[in-house]
Structure 1
């Protein structure tokens, strides 16, 4: 009888710990991203090399203090891809990172496929927004756009 109680306790403890770990990874550390009005999304200018605010509508995003690569954002821009490519830096190796399932406007696999096919173009938002991390913005021809942060390999070069 004692063995059943101890085994039940161990199973229950493992189940509670597993649920807690899942919740902590998927929900606990994310907050709504804070955007400055008029400067919600920035792209790096080809000419000046400095980030500049672009026109963005309906910006929603998530971020976390626990990791600099947890940032994701979705928005629309009235700016065309042609205008953006003439004005802002193209990002050479964009790799959209997966977002939590509950942040359903951001589909990293679809964005990645669109980048590979040329349907979307990736731009440098801000270099080294955190040490070794760049903000990347992908823009589709219809104005849909997505932002994320990814490692750039320059951790010690800031």
Structure 2
């Protein structure tokens, strides 16, 4: 069995550098998937995949088609997180929030409720800013998840 890989929904991901740092420490490959705008790396463990801009969910689809159980997926996109959790992947949001089989249902329900409130004008839909605490929580959680994935693959 090969080890886990890290797949990152890279468009607007605020923790790309952190992913690379933790992946290097564990010797794991990282694939950044976006519809452009991610700077290339000379590191052979880092791969950039650019998907067509014309298809709204092209990056999500690529990640789901290439992720397998025990891989790590980094995304803030709740529908993508649900699809990756269904594959058996470890899924982590950029704020350090893990999405698990136990929590994904509520995350999807909350996303749908917030979308409904925005559509009806009940909510302006402002997202909280990304904080230093979010970054720190992400680093700790990613390290924890990677250790678990490596043990499971071993």
TM range (shorter): under 0.3
> Which structure would you say has the larger Rg?
1
The answer to which structure, 1 or 2, has the higher relative contact order (CA under 8 A, 6+ apart) is 2
- Structure 2-normalised TM-score? 0.25
- Structure 1-normalised TM-score? 0.24
Question: Quick check: which one's strand share is greater?
Answer: 1
Question: Quick check: which one's helix share is greater?
Answer: 2
